[in-house]
Structure 1
Amino acid sequence: MKAVRLFLCGLARANDIAVFAMAGLAGLVLVATFLAIIVDVLMRNLGLASPSWTSALSEYAMLVATMGAAPLLIRERRHVWVEFIESFTGPRFQRRLAVLVVLLCVGICAVMAWFSIVMALDSAARAEVDIRSIILPRWFLYAVLAVGFTLCATEFGRFILRREDMYEKGPVEPGAT
């Protein structure tokens, strides 16, 4: 029993590290995109040839930033929730609805992660590349989706395992498991 508990604690810690690492990556990517756009605009205004990769980098960055930030947004309960239903239902129905929504979210994220993994492996096996102004292995794009959706599924799943209400907007401390 103690070995199982240690394993689960280690797994939770690894998940925490992955969630915060992806959020950090999302932040870095946004800063890099911001700087690339500034350089691009400055170069154009100075009459110089601007980098051709700025547009492609920005598109890739939006994917990485979105999938990197999503798990932390879920953990901190900053995801979208339509409160209209709560306004005319009782606490019992709200709790049942919350469980149903969380299970649906876990399922959708798991399916999306699965398909992303399959697509990443298929793209890697075929050695496909995404060619724009820069060349990027296509598997990377699917891998970002796979990691992001997997972490989103685990974050939604934590609400069920801990019997937490995912709609309470109380502050969640970083690193709390």
Structure 2
Amino acid sequence: MKALRYLERYFERILLTIALLVMATVLFAQVIMRYFLRSPFVWSEELARYVLVWAAIIGVSLAVRERKHISVDFLPLIFGERSYRIFAVIAHIGVLAFSFIMISASIPLIERLQAIGQTSPALGIPMWMVYAAIPVGFSLTLLRTIQALVMDFVSPRIELNEQGDI
């Protein structure tokens, strides 16, 4: 049970740490190969780009989990602490709707890419694997938003500090 709780708490952080380590390692190796050994890798920039795409989309889920996503907190400051829950629910519903749209719009695209069999130029990996970041990342975002929505109803009181943050 502790392992599941740890995984629930740090899943996105683990994935993002691995992604950033892969990017840093590949790009560092590329610099060494290009400028010191004069024999650059052909595939390194493409891999770094695809890993960055995955990291950015999974990062949305982490931002939702840690409540660090962009928000406008002007109205809760005007209407007071009691209105925070109402605006938080409205924001969560917006994120849920956007995530659902992204998931449902990306699945047909991925199916088309699988049918076509398109591969990346340098790595030769199927492009549907790159585009799979969209439904995977936004499914995690959907899950984390539902968790945040439930927590907003379960928590007894949410207090804002002087800056209006939680």
The normalised TM-score by structure 1 is 0.74
Range with bigger deviation, 157-166 or 40-49: 157-166
What does residue 63 of structure 1 align with?
Answer: 53
1:78 lines up with 2:68 in the alignment: yes
Q: Distance in 1 between matches of 2:159 and 2:107?
A: 30
Q: Describe the SS at the equivalent of 1:136.
A: coil
| 2:15 aligned to which of 18, 25, 43 | 25
Q: Describe the SS at the equivalent of 1:81.
A: coil
Root-mean-square deviation (CA, aligned residues, Å) is: 2.8
**Superposed displacement of residue 101, structure 1:** 0.9
Which runs of 5 or more residues in structure 2 are unaligned? none
Percent identity for Structure 1 against Structure 2: 21
Question: In the alignment, is the contact (CA less than 8 A) between 1:77 and 1:167 conserved in 2?
Answer: no
**Superposed displacement of residue 52, structure 1:** 1.4
Q: 1:166 to 1:34 in 2, by over 3 A?
A: farther
| 2:80 aligned to which of 82, 90, 93 | 90
1:123 lines up with 2:113 in the alignment: yes
**Superposed displacement of residue 29, structure 1:** 1.6
The normalised TM-score by structure 2 is 0.78
What are the equivalent positions in structure 2 for 1:28-177 lying under 5 Å apart?
28-131=18-121, 133-162=122-151, 163=153
Which runs of 5 or more residues in structure 1 are unaligned? 1-12, 171-177
> How many residues in Structure 1 have an aligned counterpart in Structure 2?
156
**Superposed displacement of residue 109, structure 1:** 0.6
